[in-house]
Homo-oligomer: A and B are copies of this chain.
Amino acid sequence: MTNASTNMRLKLPIVCFILQIILIILFGVLVQYDHEVDAKEWHKHNHSDYDNDFYYRYPSFQDVHVMIFVGFGFLMTFLQRYGFSSVGFNFLIAAFAIQWATLMQGFFHGMHGGKIHIGVESMINADFCTGSVLISFGAVLGKTSPIQLLVMALFEVILFAVNEFILLSVLGAKDAGGSMTIHTFGAYFGLIVARVLYRPTLDKSKHRNSSVYHSDLFAMIGTIYLWMFWPSFNSAVTAHGDDQHRTALNTYYSLAACTLATYGMSALTAHDGKLDMVHIQNAALAGGVAAGTAGEMMLTPFGSMIVGFLAGIISVLGFKFLSPILEEKLKIQDTCGVHNLHGMPGILGAIVGAVTAAVASSDTYGEGMTDVFPDVANGDVDASFQGVRQAISLAVTLGMALLGGLLVGFIMKLPVFGAPPDTLCYEDSIYWEVPGAEEGHEDQLTTVVSPETEKLNG
């Protein structure tokens, strides 16, 4: 009866079609190719085709794209009965968010003569914004309908774009890899949404809130892709030349150090010394998050490795000790532990960025200062004030995420959006046609999920 609201037969098509048609209309009215994409504009100028920015951004874009669709999508397949939704809803909301983010980010910093100009750099930025939404998705994984997720994406993209505009354009902060704009924002936004959507009797679905052997292997596909391509993520939109090169290298070493810390901490915090897949799948990535702001700076490999090492330790400790507290005391049921992978490491990354900015000197950066800290190079501000800007940016991000998440969480709570009942969380079959698990076992599986499923179908 109440479950009728989870039937997506009309709701999902209506929402998808309305959103897509609005997007198409807005693109028709507002969006143009930028001068590197437009046939006429590009050929107006005298340059080699090899100078097109496509060749210096697109490989990074594709790596980021893999992180968004394979990385995030498969990382969340660890749940035993939620693989279709993890990959599939990830796919849906990302496909929506990249379009919507193009408009929102373009509105705030891509307008030229009343038109939004797009190209490979705006594609990367749209993917970045989408990453933030997917982080929030991780906090509510298994407890939301696809419509709730689209609603979340709709509002979160707007708030992301506003926050990004304040940080990068108003405050003049640097955050190429998005420790603040992407990770901190996405994590705390999602955590507050999870708080608002708190389910006191969620343990009715507890038996499904765990992995099985092969689901953990699918999740490792996500983990490894995120890990490998994080250097591309952090360096995708920095200035060209040494900046991209340095950011990729710093991230590479931060992640490597983080991985050893993660394995050590995972064994140390287990009563029998056995490694925990949850830690390996998530905490080993914290080094990429924590290098998101300072990665483009002269952090040095030495500094990068320290940052990664700390991020790994913090992240495992978070999974072990903080997540249970969040759930019991603060009533935040953080399915994927985004607080440990994106929240705390994001804050760590913001702080490292602020400190690294504050100690920047022309002695270290030389002429390269112009790319990394243009305002410092111009003499508009001194380095320590750049550090202050970075710190303020962290505070603004936390504030935006918390308030935004609160607001959007309440919107998402509207019954019409079709959230699953407490008895059918972490369960694909409520929104998907689900086949059996292995040949010869179909009956058995159907039995496992059937009592509620039948009611739904009835």
Residues of A within 8 A of B (CB): 7-17, 19-20, 23-24, 27-28, 31-33, 36-44, 49-56, 58-59, 62-63, 65-66, 69-70, 73-74, 77, 80-81, 83-84, 87-88, 91-92, 95-96, 98-99, 118-120, 123, 146, 208, 210-214, 216-218, 220-221, 224-225, 227-229, 232, 239-246, 248-249, 252-253, 255-257, 259-261, 263-265, 267-268, 270-277, 280, 284, 298, 300-302, 305-306, 309, 364-369, 371-372, 429, 431-442, 444-445, 448, 456-457
Contact = CB atoms under 8 A, between A and B. Distances in A.
Given A24-B257, A91-B280, A439 B433 contact: no
B216 A435 contact: yes
- Copies of this chain, whole number: 3
Contact of A240 (B52, B275, B372): B52
B432 A9 contact: no
Contact of A42 (B13, B74, B91, B368): B368
A200 to B, nearest CB: 25
A29 to B, nearest CB: 8
A38 to B, nearest CB: 7
Contacts of A302: 24, 27-28, 31
B16 A260 contact: yes
B432 A120 contact: no
A252 B31 CA distance: 14
B70 A212 contact: no
B240 A274 contact: no
Given A15-B264, A52-B244, A54-B244, 10 more contacts: A12-B275, A17-B264, A20-B257, A40-B368, A42-B242, A52-B242, A146-B263, A213-B435, A213-B445, A438-B441
B280 A240 contact: no
B120 A249 contact: yes
The 4 closest A-B pairs by CB, nearest first: A39-B368, A9-B273, A40-B366, A49-B241
A20 B261 contact: yes
The winner among A300, A431, A438 for most chain B CB atoms within 10 A is A438
B301 A84 contact: no
A189 to B, nearest CB: 22
A435 to B, nearest CB: 5
A373 to B, nearest CB: 10
**Residue of A52, A275, A441 ringed by the most chain B CB atoms within 10 A:** A275
Nearest to A51: B50
Contact of A306 (B24, B62, B77, B252): B24
Contacts of A242: 36-39, 41-43, 49, 52
